[in-house]
Amino acid sequence: MADDTEYTESDIWASPSHDAPLAARPKTPKTPKTPKTPTGPPASETVSRDDLLRRELEGVRSVNEGIEGLLGTLNRAGGNMQVVAKTVANASTLLNTWTRILSQTEHNQRLILHPGWKGVTQDLAEQEAEALEKQRAAERKAAEEEQRREELRRRREEEETARRPSARTTYIKLIKKPRNFRDRPWDTVNARSHTGDKMKDGLCCS
């Protein structure tokens, strides 16, 4: 063992022989490669961003679920309100019917207890007579109205007829010639002057 581990200085600087085994030759270390420049964000940042997006997506989904639940609740409430409205309408109809029944019952009771009631037949006869009387009154009123309009129309016609002859007489009086009127204007002037002379003579004589 001591012989194998002991080397002299000449042995260290001596060139290796070709007969030495290949395993004894030292290997030349490889040149380290240049590291690549990173083009994207670090893996930790990518992971954190994905987590944030995932959390936001989950939050949006939860909000959507809440809104859908609220809409479903509102729809159910609307359906319940419709049911309540129908129930109230039915109850109102039943109440009105019951009120009419009670009113009719009270009326029948008063009729039965009334000493002057003569039965349903007499009531029907009275109702028919009342309806007939109303019809006659309406017809009589219509006849009176028609008669009044006819009288007014007759008066207007009489007034128009009375105005027409008077207008014609006035027109005739306007276009009628006097007795001493002559066609020639100078004769009319002479007649006027002659009349004036006579009046003067009479005044002088008097």
Q: Which amino acid is at 35?
A: P
pLDDT in tens, the chain (206 residues): 444 444 555 555 555 555 545 445 556 666 666 656 656 555 556 668 888 888 899 999 999 999 999 999 999 998 899 999 999 999 999 999 999 999 999 988 888 888 877 777 887 888 899 999 999 999 999 999 999 999 999 999 998 888 876 555 555 555 555 555 454 444 444 445 545 555 445 444 44
Q: For the stretch 185-197, what's the b/e string if a residue is b when 16 or more beta carbons lie within 10 angstroms of its beta carbon?
A: eeeeeeeeeeeee
Q: Which amino acid is at 180?
A: N
* Residue appearing with tokens 């008669």: 147
Inter-residue long-range contacts of 148-156, CB under 8 Å, 24+ positions, other chains counted: none
pTM for this prediction: 0.32
- The sign of the torsion formed by the CA atoms of 172, 178, 184, 189 equals negative
Residue 206: what pLDDT? Answer: 45
- The sign of the torsion formed by the CA atoms of 131, 133, 138, 143 equals positive
Alpha carbons 141 and 133: distance in angstroms, whole number:
12
pLDDT tens string 142-184: 999 999 999 999 999 998 888 876 555 555 555 555 555 454 4
* Residue appearing with tokens 């639940």: 69
Alpha carbons 14 and 18: distance in angstroms, whole number:
12
